[in-house]
Chain A
Amino acid sequence: MEEVDKILIHALRQVGTEVGENIERVGQFTSELIVEAVVRCIRVIDPGPGGVLPTTLPPGMSARFRVGMSLAQACQDIGYKGEIGYQTFLYSNEPEIRSLLMFLVEKLPRESSEASDQPTGKSAVLHRAIATVIKAQLAVSWVPLNCRLPLHGETQSRAASQKFSVHPLSLPYCNEGQKSLKEVKEYKRDILLPATAQSPSQTSMVSSMLEQHMADLSSTQEWDTEWKSQGLLYRLAPQEYRSRKLKRLRNRIKEQLRSVAMQSPESIYSVCRPSSELSDLLRAFRGPAPFDLILTKGTHFTHTQKFTFTEEATAVKSQVHSGRHSEGDTQLHQQEELALLQQQFQQLCSDIDQIAADMRHRSVTSTQVFDELKQRELENAKNQEDMQVKKTTLELLPDADNNLQKLQSQVETGASRVVNLASQWEKHRAPLIEELRRLKQICSSKDLESSTKLSEIKHLHEKICMATEDAKKKEESYKQLVTELESLPRDVSRSAYTQRILEIVGNINKQKEDITKILSDTKELQKEINNLTGKLDRTFAVTDELVFKDAKKDESVRKSYKYLAALQENCNQLIQTIEDTGTILREIRDLEEQVGIS
């Protein structure tokens, strides 16, 4: 019992109950302590209802009664099967309390002890240290420039904060399978600075390394996930998969560029055109709106319109100006200028028109020339062929009939030879194609197998991931537990506990054996009793009948019958009394147990 109590008290202390140092047995718990312990346990097990219950007993009797009832209800909700009511808490007795507390402590979730501790792994320690330093720095209040102490220098002076500037690093990777030139290797070996010296300033070195590392890490991770999820399905080597992906992306880019490039020239005059970034970029490449586009669209009339409007605007402006200066010669001067400009403009317009017409003419003639060229080429080819045929025919012409016959026979022999060759080839080809088809069939039937294997591989990959994560976590917790163990006091030896536990377990086993033996003995006895009672009843019945038969005639037999009946009666009474005594003894024992006399 002591050990049980110690364990209970330890568990209750962990949950948060303030059990005094001197309390060693459950019997020493006061009602308040019992209530507090039970409520805290319930709060951990089941936060919902637990939050409502108070940890202290209120003073009033009815209130205490109510609290007791609610506590009992809560315990029963959790699943306590024993008899429980308000009296358990207000008028407590040790065995009941012990069993209740044991039940509650067992119900407590296992990890509560771990969760309540702060993790003390190495990285967690580092994190906490960083957090505390940053908190401290943030807590320092801002001070104006003149009053700054060195304490503030780290966080408040402008020199302290540095921009996250990244400088690209060139690292000498050796790609397996890719032969780099000798010069490149030499450069990497002799001339390339080490990574720490490559950035222009000390501050950017850290950020550059972080950036480089991040980029590498994220690219490999992305490649990993992509390969494991999609890449395996294609059943290609990684290189092939990569090159295919590259081709696919390039095609897409080409299509996009083409579609945007198509749009822009056509819609060059629409005002509210939805301009995408890509079309803006392409336009930047092309340069500002070219002059000739203004020429090809619109007629001469609209151009003059545009220009006359601008002219009028300038004319109006010049008129406004002239109002300020003296009238006479400035007006004349301006009119002269105007006439000159208009003449120039007319000249330019006609030039432009002529050039435009010229260009149109040239394009048409160039198509004509191109067409002619093509036709001539084709005619040439055809004529050459015809010439060949006619030449050979001419050579054969002198001896026409003979040659004709010879030609015919040649053609026939040639044809038959070709057919012969074809049949020979067919002899070779047919089995080959059969073989190909058969192998392809086998291949496709193996496809199913390979796809199952692929899914298995995927599963394995996932399992590997999970297992590595698990292993990491377990290592961390192992480290943390090791540090905890080292920090624990060494006075209490664990082996003593284990010894005692084993002893107790042995005792309990022995007791169990004894109990089973006693139970079996009891069963045997009960069986015997039943047997004997049955026998007795049967014997009495037979005797009774026998004697009763003779009792009608004989006096002595009647007397003996009466004695027999009395004997039976008395013995039954005796047995009854013994049984009652047994029952009463049992009741006494039970009551004694309840009251607490052990």
Chain B
Amino acid sequence: MATTETQLMLSVGLIEKDVNGDTLWVWCYPSITAELRELLLRKCCLTQDGRDFHTFVFGQFSRTWYYISTVEVQEPTALKKVTHFSICVTAKDFNPEKYAALSRILCRMYIKHGSPVKMMEAYITVLTKGICQNDENGSFLIRDYDVRKAYLAGSVKDVVSQFGMETIILYTALMLKKRIVVHHPRIEALLEFTRVLPALTWHRKDWSILHPYVHLTDSELEDLKKCPGYIAGFVDPEVSNRSDLFDVFVNLPDSEITVSQGAKEAMAMGKLHKEIAHVIVQSAEDAERSDSQVIKDISIKTKEVLTSLFALVEECEDSKITLEVLKQHHFPPATENFLFHLAAAEQLLRI
């Protein structure tokens, strides 16, 4: 397992901010494309005129996950003329904890030795052996960081406590593979909130729809539009005017969820949704149950719905369902609509 996992790391890069106020890309191994370099410079908080300092941010671009740790250089140090620096690690998998730990180790090495060579040695040991010496008399083992833990690290209970019954809108949007845009002026809050949303559709375990940190630039939006359904987080408040980008808009600081005009028809909700909403809220409000248990409850309910859908599909020829078959069962219109779109999302619809 270690070998396939180490193949997931793509590159490591170093960005420095010096006493002249310039932010420069000073080191990368093996190589990073110019586009990605420009993107990482934008995401790294050092280019944003020293407004906020974010220790750790992560995001996705073009199926590559990037993790950026930023450190302020304190005297005394071997690094002259450097005020701050960021280490960016790109990888194919989603695992913020693992890469946060790794980049922390790399940062400390860099500060201590003042040269990227030592940092690179550590990176290569992790790449080849899956283990690296931590300077706190421990070691960093890749296998300590299981991907399931990353998936479950967020808090579903917080989401439900913030939105209550409206969580069902997010659930429906995720089930139907719609486009969700979340806005919050602080990136940390955005990352924390968005990373837990794919857990509502646990049966898919697909975190590639998550783009937690997007700017309103053409290249990034192009990349975003390639995915049919996504969860995108924006720090820029302008995104609320871009109704071409979302079906559901979540205004996190005001705790408001809006569904755009075009998607209202597909997202119509009925009795089934109310049931599911009840289950979610009840489970989350229960103080005895942990986050993973809540997610399990939600996935159990989802499975019920899916099993009933699959049962319907089994009846049809070549296991593809059509609208007529659905209509024959005389479901209430909202449920019928939902099942129709869900079938499309699960690729069960006959074309």
The interface-forming segment of B120-128, B150-158, B186-194 is B120-128
- Taken together as a complex, chains A and B put the C-alpha atoms of A418 and B18 apart, in Å, by 27
Quick check: B120 and A433 within 8 Å, CB to CB?
A: no
Answer yes or no: A570 CB below 8 A from chain B CBs. Answer: no
Binary per-residue interface labels of chain B (217-256) against chain A in the complex, 1 for a CB within 8 Å, 0 otherwise: 0000000001111000000000001111000000000000
Quick check: B121 and A419 within 8 Å, CB to CB?
A: yes
- Taken together as a complex, chains A and B put the C-alpha atoms of A539 and B15 apart, in Å, by 108
- Taken together as a complex, chains A and B put the C-alpha atoms of A441 and B265 apart, in Å, by 60
Answer yes or no: B323 CB below 8 A from chain A CBs. Answer: yes
Categorize the interface residue count of chain B: 35 or more
Categorize the interface residue count of chain A: 20 to 34
Task: With both chains docked as a complex, state the minimum distance between the C-beta of A273 and any C-beta of chain B, in angstroms.
Answer: 15
The interface-forming segment of B19-27, B280-288, B298-306 is B19-27
Binary per-residue interface labels of chain A (432-457) against chain B in the complex, 1 for a CB within 8 Å, 0 otherwise: 01101100110010000000000000
Name the residue of chain B whose CB is nearest to the CB of A411: B128
Quick check: A429 and B344 within 8 Å, CB to CB?
A: no
Question: Which residues of B (272-300) have their CB < 8 Å from a CB of A?
Answer: none
Answer yes or no: A422 CB below 8 A from chain B CBs. Answer: yes
Answer yes or no: B309 CB below 8 A from chain A CBs. Answer: no
Binary per-residue interface labels of chain B (124-146) against chain A in the complex, 1 for a CB within 8 Å, 0 otherwise: 11001000000000000000000
Cβ-defined partner of A422 (8 Å) among B80, B117, B242, B243? B117
Quick check: A371 and B345 within 8 Å, CB to CB?
A: yes
Give the tally of cross-chain contacts (CB within 8 A): 77
Answer yes or no: A367 CB below 8 A from chain B CBs. Answer: yes
Task: With both chains docked as a complex, state the minimum distance between the C-beta of B198 and any C-beta of chain A, in angstroms.
Answer: 16
Which of A365, A367, A412 counts the most B-chain CB atoms under 10 A from its CB? A367
- Chain A positions within 8 Å of B323 at CB level: 361
Answer yes or no: A259 CB below 8 A from chain B CBs. Answer: yes
- Known contacts A367-B228, A444-B20; A262/B241 CB under 8 A: yes
| Binding site secondary structure of chain A | helix
- Known contacts A259-B241, A418-B120; A365/B20 CB under 8 A: no
- Taken together as a complex, chains A and B put the C-alpha atoms of A434 and B121 apart, in Å, by 23
- Taken together as a complex, chains A and B put the C-alpha atoms of A434 and B226 apart, in Å, by 42
- Chain B positions within 8 Å of A519 at CB level: none
- Taken together as a complex, chains A and B put the C-alpha atoms of A430 and B177 apart, in Å, by 49
- Taken together as a complex, chains A and B put the C-alpha atoms of A411 and B124 apart, in Å, by 10
Quick check: B243 and A437 within 8 Å, CB to CB?
A: no
Quick check: B228 and A262 within 8 Å, CB to CB?
A: no
Cβ-defined partner of A437 (8 Å) among B19, B29, B120, B228? B19
- Taken together as a complex, chains A and B put the C-alpha atoms of A369 and B350 apart, in Å, by 10
Name the residue of chain A whose CB is nearest to the CB of B124: A415
Task: With both chains docked as a complex, state the minimum distance between the C-beta of A292 and any C-beta of chain B, in angstroms.
Answer: 14
Question: Which residues of B (3-20) have their CB < 8 Å from a CB of A?
Answer: 18-20
Quick check: A440 and B116 within 8 Å, CB to CB?
A: no
- Chain A positions within 8 Å of B24 at CB level: 433, 436
- Known contacts A368-B344, A441-B19; A423/B243 CB under 8 A: no
- Known contacts A364-B341, A364-B349, A374-B228; A419/B124 CB under 8 A: yes
Name the residue of chain B whose CB is nearest to the CB of A381: B63
- Taken together as a complex, chains A and B put the C-alpha atoms of A371 and B18 apart, in Å, by 45
The 5 lowest CB-CB distance pairs between A and B, nearest first, are: A368-B344, A440-B20, A423-B117, A364-B344, A415-B124
Chain A contacts to B: CB under 8 angstroms: 259, 262, 266, 360-361, 364-365, 367-372, 374, 378, 411-412, 415, 418-419, 422-423, 426, 429-430, 433-434, 436-437, 440-441, 444
Could you jot down 17 A-B contacts, CB within 8 Å? A360-B265, A364-B266, A365-B344, A365-B349, A368-B344, A368-B349, A369-B351, A371-B347, A374-B226, A378-B63, A418-B29, A422-B29, A423-B115, A429-B26, A434-B81, A437-B18, A440-B22
